[in-house]
Amino acid sequence: MEFNKLKEIEKDPYSALGVSSKKEGVHEATKNLSKGLFLGTFCKILPLIGNLPQEVKDNYVQILHSDGVGTKSNIAYIARKEGYSTNTFQTLPQDALVMNLDDLACVGAFDNFYISNHIARNSNRISNEDITTIIQGYQDFFQKASDLGINIFDAGGETADVGSYTTTLGIDVTASTIIEKNKIIDCDNIPTNGYIVGLASNGQSSYENQPNSGIRSNGLTLAINSLLNSYYRKYPETMDQTVDQNKLFTGPYRLNDVIQDTNTGEKFTISEAILSPTRTYLPILKMCQEYGIEICGIIHCTGGGLTKSIKFGKQIRYVKSNLPATPIIFSEIQEARNIKDKYMYQTFNMGVGLEIIVPNEKEAELLIKIANYFDVSAKIIGYTEIAKHNTNEVIIEKNGIPLEYKL
């Protein structure tokens, strides 16, 4: 093993890789922009405009949302270069789609989406065959969603040959939907005595073909560079040339190496673990809606990981004292790079892809039953209470030791 463990614990390991998981700069740049019709929703809600009948404008709203797979595409690229089939690109569209769809789900939109996709590629590295695989991947997910009762309309997209600034591949999606204003879930309604139900990001749901590592599509730059070893420096096109090259590909593994989760018994090759497609929670949420489960707030644990909730609600203290066992991929990342617990929870989902806040234990139990119906683990991971100060707080208990996060 040519694995060099970093001697020092880095204060902000992500920043050293050219990524800000907190996006302070971006928040500063956007702080004065309009927040939309609701101040507390997970996504921005806009009024319907144009020549539509006034009654429709009064009762429906529009949402438009953009996100992508980030650097997860680089692993698909490396895997293909290493002789894996072009199918390594096949589930990237699912990643890009679910990053958007499950964000929209957080505001109460569980069905009827429009999708426009954007591919930025280096055309000498990403072939037309690869593009065909990716476009087929979108169609495959649309079909899978349809089979689960979720309607998605494909608006097409754009493939840009932009090798002058793209070394490999960018996969991004914009999703839009129109929903009834009275169905909007506004996190400002999260109570100070609610229950937080966490839905697992790992395991194998009834609508997945294989076990999921739980990685989803956030923290990938750190995951890749922590897990993979220096062998992969032969792909400088996947290495940000502006960062210390010694901090890239510092891990112990090659793509074919196998890790095993001691809790679940599941085994993954590293490539399977990193490329594991982002699970959507839409089928679960749709069934919750059908059963009339009262939901006060939904948090998609994306950038910010298990501290994402800190941005939502009014003077809420989120206490997460009963988290599930950490999936193996996160333990491996942490171990490989010697990352502090506190940092891990604010970067990765750590096994909880979605947090749903319900008003009482009965609703929590019903919700858990529905998740389990789809073979998705779920449990009450904590509760909400009034924050000590006038901003939100997150407390994560790990082995009885509280990690405190303030806004």
* Helix, coil or strand: residue 203: strand
Rounded to whole angstroms, the Cα distance separating 187 from 296 reads 7
Rounded least distance, CB 236 to a second copy, Å: 9
Place of tokens 């993954």: 268
Distances in Å between the Cα of 236 and the Cα atoms of 230, 231, 292 are 11, 11, 52
Taking residues 58 to 97 in sequence order and writing x for each that binds a second copy by CB under 8 A, - otherwise, the string is: --x-xxxxxxx-xx-xx-----------------------
Whichever of 4 and 30 has its CB closer to a second copy, that residue is 30
Place of tokens 């405009």: 49
Amino acid, res. 245: Q
Whichever of 156 and 292 has its CB closer to a second copy, that residue is 156
Q: Which of residues 271-300 bind a second copy (CB under 8 A)?
A: none
The residue within the footprint of a second copy, chosen from 117, 212, 309, 346 (CB under 8 A), is: 117
Whichever of 23 and 388 has its CB closer to a second copy, that residue is 23
Rounded to whole angstroms, the Cα distance separating 257 from 272 reads 10
Q: Which of residues 16-55 bind a second copy (CB under 8 A)?
A: 17-20, 23-26, 28-30, 33-34, 36, 43-44, 46-53, 55
**Could you tell me which residues are beta bridge partners of residue 378?**
199
Q: Which of residues 126-155 bind a second copy (CB under 8 A)?
A: 127-128, 131-132, 135, 139, 151, 153-155
Query: By rule CB under 8 A, what count of residues binds a second copy?
Result: 91
Whichever of 125 and 254 has its CB closer to a second copy, that residue is 125
- What is the DSSP secondary structure assignment for residue 25, as one 8-state letter? H
Structure tokens at 231: 């062998």
Q: How far is CA 206 from the centre of its chain?
A: 20
Whichever of 60 and 84 has its CB closer to a second copy, that residue is 60
Q: Does 221 bind a second copy (CB under 8 A)?
A: yes
Residues with Cβ within 8 Å of 352's Cβ and at least 6 positions away in sequence, in order, are 198, 199, 200, 201, 301, 306, 323, 324, 381
Whichever of 165 and 262 has its CB closer to a second copy, that residue is 165
